[in-house]
Chain A
Amino acid sequence: MDTQILSWVVFIPLIGIPVLLLLPKERPQLVKWTALGVAAADFLVSLYLSANFDAANPGMQFSVAIPWIESFGIYYRLGLDGVSLFLVMLTTFLSMLAIYSTFSAINEKVKGFYISFLLLQTGMLGVFVALDVFLFYVFWEGMLIPMYFLIGIWGGPRKIYATIKFVLFTMFGSLLMLVAILALYFLNRSATGNYSFNLFDFYQLALPLNLQIWLFLAFALAFAIKVPMFPFHTWLPDAHVEAPTAGSVILAGVLLKMGTYGFLRFLFPLFPNATFQFIPFLAVLSIIGIIYGALMAMVQKDVKSLVAFSSVSHLGFVTLGLLAMNLQGWQGGMLQMLNHGVSTGALFLLVGMIYERRHTRLIDDFGGLTKVMPVFAVFFMIITLSSIGLPGTNGFVGEFLILVGTFRTNPVWAAFATTGVILSAVYMLWMFQRVMFGEVKNPANAGLSDLNWREKAVLVPLVVFVFWIGIYPNTFLKNMEGSLENLLNQVNRRETVLRTLPSQSWSEFMAGGGSSQAQTANLPANNVP
């Protein structure tokens, strides 16, 4: 089982689909429990994965490589390191909770919903463990379609607009990335004579700066749209507001991390010189994202779009931490990815729970909910504080590390970014105050029932993680440290080696690629699984 365990993690949700198809349509409860069972099984297998993960090994573990399309040298190649481990765990964990949370919300086309959801889960998991760039792209694109259905069929009133916008934005970036992937493939082929889409072969490629810049831009655009970085964020509020609760949870919790993961795994190590050229530019965009997202969140009337804009702000922190290009920044960025998954996922769940009761999400419609729903209030408070980054909660550790890392690189950026922390306290607490405190003005709110046992069961695990990461982050940091250091060295060493490369045009490189082989030989090869 060990050799194919990653394949199991990725494809268990897919195996669940035919099972769901065979179940009778007339018994939606059975369908729901089966879907939950599939997600839980996947989570258990991924737990096995983390239990057997060797923190001392910075390279790829549980690797699989099977020839797939020989004509192109494409392999079915999976592997897991400290970076992907947590994202895989986050995916299986959140998917399971999200499915559990939908038991009361989804009553139409039940089978279709869970089929799309499980398909989406396979796509996301595949993105995080694929080490063949072609395979990565297949998962990256393939996961669009189930999300498209989730928003488009089970979404809110403007669902069609939102879902088409989501698809078009994402496809725009990823299609240009496809061209860049093909370009890399041919550059690699002319340099080494090998037909390969292996990411680690691409890591060894010595590309002159001018070529790197073009490829960098294509990849960066795809990832920046996904993150989303300002100014490519406009699809996000629409998609979040219209998506059903579980869709929002996954969208915020996992999908956005695919962009930041892409930065770490693909963008920086593949194009180190171009990366260093663009760091100031991207950092400024991140800071704009942090502040702009926070300001926009402040003025939203709808709780869900407030959370959506807060995502833009939080993801700005993540990208800023990654752009610091030092270990603290990266650890903070990674941790903040998990934190955002947990906190924002929980926020969307909470908003969904209240929406199911009142069928509105407008801040003005609420007020005084603490009195009516005390348990809900406790959960909401904890998550709000974690989102703000109160010490003792997960948000604090992540933001702190990011700010430390950024300060080491550029104190001015850190100063601007810190305003984001303050602003997040403003918009979150202000929202909390208006929704939860005061008198119950609206009679419709007076009779609301508090959380039931199922909703509590969904929220408790998230709260556990809020405190676990907040109080003892070392569990997480020590597992990711080796892999992050490894990647960081990769980026830095390559940057110094490649800096001296003369610029070459595309056709020059394709014609005389063999000559740059002398350069490739100097590069560290320690990352090959």
Chain B
Amino acid sequence: MGFALLVMVLEPFLPERAKQINFYLTVLGLIAAAGASLWLWNHSGTNFGGMALSDNFAVFFRLVFLAGTFLVVLVSKNYLSAERFVNGEYYSLLLFSTLGMMFMAGTLDLMVIFLGLEVMSIPLYILAGFRKTDVRSNEAGMKYFLIGAFASSFFLYGIALLYGATGTTHLQEIYNQLPDLQGRGDFLIYAGAALLTVGFAFKVAAVPFHMWAPDVYEGAPTAVTAFMSAGPKAAGFAALLRVFALFLGDYKEAMEAVFWVLAVLTMTVGNVLALVQPNIKRMLAYSSIAHAGYILVAVVAGGPDGVSAALFYLLAYTVMNIGAFAVVLAVEAKESSNQIGDYRGLANRHPYLAAAMTIFMLSLIGIPPTAGFVGKLYIFSAAVSANQIPLVVIAVLNSLVSVYYYLGVVVAMYMHPSPASEKNQSFYTAPLLVVLILTVLGTLQLGIFPQALLQAASDSLVGLF
């Protein structure tokens, strides 16, 4: 693991001026890191005095992060040249952020989780405001920064309270002390856990801590939005699952109630508000809130099934959502607009792009045979087996609501006539094409032959339960 991280940190600093090399080095670094992570599969171990650890859970998440970053780096290449960004720091910021995510997934220490959270978030604040001349982008960066800092302080205070109750920030040790604390330090544990929850809820944009998401998603450069919607969310859930699903067993009922409410609110608010968004980035922002809600359903379900369902879903979501954003980027590059209305007639102008978008939208709805369907099925089945049937019914009805806005995009692409009949086929650049092919294949692969990755998701829990 150390090697992988080293590569990642060093990479961006090597070339100072050569612009193209940066891109290739980044890609290479990501692949190397993925290879190293893969090698660590089934080789658990800890390092740095127990601060860093590598188990299958961490490896699974690392691979999800790296895959997400890899796809985003590919789509960014053209985007950067189109927007005339200086690209050196762009890639290094992406990599730093990814590094932070990996910290978050691979530790049992709350302090390291916090550290990872900051390493992940700070580059994101900069990236969100990357379009220096654009007011919206500035607003996004500023807003994200302020709210992120706010969330961090909640999180830190939560850690402080838990430390006050137990005298340690290591989750395993906290967990061992819980039985002794019954009655004596309950209040501190509850308060600490509540503050941690708030911190996480901000990061994964769970309602009612979601207010930043739509503005930031809309304002940030689209490639950055794609990045934010996948990796950091997965990282937030990685840490959240570590902390709650695995280590607060004795406080299960209280936490379950909290997450139940969060899940219902997040799904419902996300889906209902997504219905009325005319801007596709904003729509996808609300949709990503809704998807966080589905994952919270898996958190409520808990247990091995719930956690591996969440893992699988995060993977599926990363693939299909970055795919959808790749299409948004392509359309934005061509038509310089993000209004759903401007997708009208896309099927005539760019039939393959429209077909890819349709697959992503169907997958986001959860229609078989796509990744989204298997993911939802896994989550729902975990929740049914945990006797959470009312919650599943609410989730299912939410999926129904989501049908309307996702299909709205499809309706625009296929069923409305094209406003202008210009026909331009020549914008499929190689990296974009690679991303589209990978994400489409991934979405279908996870939907039709999910066995291998379902198995991987449940193998990631080895040693945790």
Q: Using CB atoms and an 8 Å cutoff, list the residues of chain A in contact with chain B.
A: 68-72, 112, 137-138, 141-142, 144-145, 148-149, 152-153, 159-160, 163-164, 167-168, 171-172, 175-176, 178-179, 182-183, 185-186, 189, 506-507, 510
Q: Do A149 and B396 touch across chains, with their CB atoms under 8 A apart?
A: no
Distance in angstroms from B19 CB to nearest chain A CB is 38
In angstroms, Cα B278 to Cα A476, docked, is: 54
- Chain A residues with CB below 8 A from B377, complex form: 178, 182
Give bound CA distance, A112 to B351, whole Å: 10
Q: Tell me the chain B residues, 408-465 only, with Cβ under 8 Å from chain A.
A: 411, 414-415, 450-451, 454-455, 458
Cβ-closest chain B residue relative to A70: B451
**A-facing mask of B323-361, CB < 8 A → 1, else 0?**
000000000000000000000000100000000000000
A sample of 12 more A-B contacts (CB under 8 A), given A149-B414, A160-B411, A168-B403, is A69-B374, A72-B454, A138-B373, A142-B368, A152-B411, A164-B404, A164-B407, A167-B403, A178-B396, A179-B384, A182-B380, A183-B384
Q: Are B393 and A176 in contact (CB under 8 A)?
A: yes
Q: Which residues of B contact A (CB under 8 A)?
A: 347, 362, 367-369, 373-374, 377, 380-381, 384-385, 387, 389, 392-393, 396-397, 399-400, 403-404, 407, 411, 414-415, 450-451, 454-455, 458
CA gap between A221 and B384 in the complex, in Å: 20
A167-B403, A506-B387 known; A152 vs B414 contact (CB < 8 Å): yes
Q: Is the CB of B451 within 8 A of A148?
A: no
Chain A: minimal CB distance from B198 (Å) = 31
Q: Identify B384's interface contact among A149, A167, A171, A186, CB under 8 A.
A: A186
B414 touches A141 (CB 8 A): no
Which 6 pairs, one residue from A and one from B, show the smallest C-beta to C-beta distance? Answer: A138-B368, A175-B396, A71-B454, A182-B384, A152-B415, A182-B381
Tell me how far the C-beta of B172 lies from the nearest C-beta in chain A, rounded to whole angstroms. 29
Residues of A within 8 A of B380 (CB): 178-179, 182
Q: How far is it, in angstroms, between the C-alpha of A172 and the C-alpha of B373 when the chains are bound?
A: 15
Q: A153-B414, A176-B393, A176-B396 are in contact. Are A68 and B451 (CB under 8 A)?
A: yes
Q: State whether A175 touches B369 (Cβ < 8 A).
A: no
8 Å CB contact of B454 from A69, A149, A159, A171: A69
Q: Classify the interface of chain A: helix, strand, loop or mixed.
A: helix
Q: In whole angstroms, how far apart are the Cα atoms of A478 and B183 in the complex?
A: 74
Q: B451–A71 contact, CB under 8 A? A: yes
Contacts of A167 in B (CB 8 A): 403, 407
Instruction: Say which residue of B367, B415, B450 sits within 8 Å of A69 (CB atoms).
Output: B450
Given A69-B450, A176-B393, A186-B384, does the pair A145, B362 have CB atoms closer than 8 Å? yes
Q: Which residue of B lies closest to A177 (CB)?
A: B396
Q: Are B451 and A69 in contact (CB under 8 A)?
A: yes
Closest-CB distance, A367 to chain B (whole angstroms): 35
A159–B411 Cα distance when bound, in Å, is 10
Task: Tell me, in angstroms, the Cα distance from A171 to B402 when the chains sit together.
Answer: 11
Closest to B384 in A: A182
Query: B362 to A175, Cβ gap below 8 A?
Result: no
Whose C-beta in chain B lies nearest to the C-beta of A115?
B355
Query: Would you call B407 and A148 a contact (CB within 8 A)?
Result: yes
Residues of B within 8 A of A138 (CB): 368-369, 373
Chain A residues closer than 8 Å to B381, beta-carbon distance: 72, 182, 185-186
Min CB distance, B274 to chain A, in Å? 15
B387 touches A141 (CB 8 A): no
Quick check: B400 and A168 within 8 Å, CB to CB? yes
Name the distance in Å between A125's Cβ and chain B's nearest Cβ. 15
Residues in A with CB closer than 8 Å to B414 are: 149, 152-153
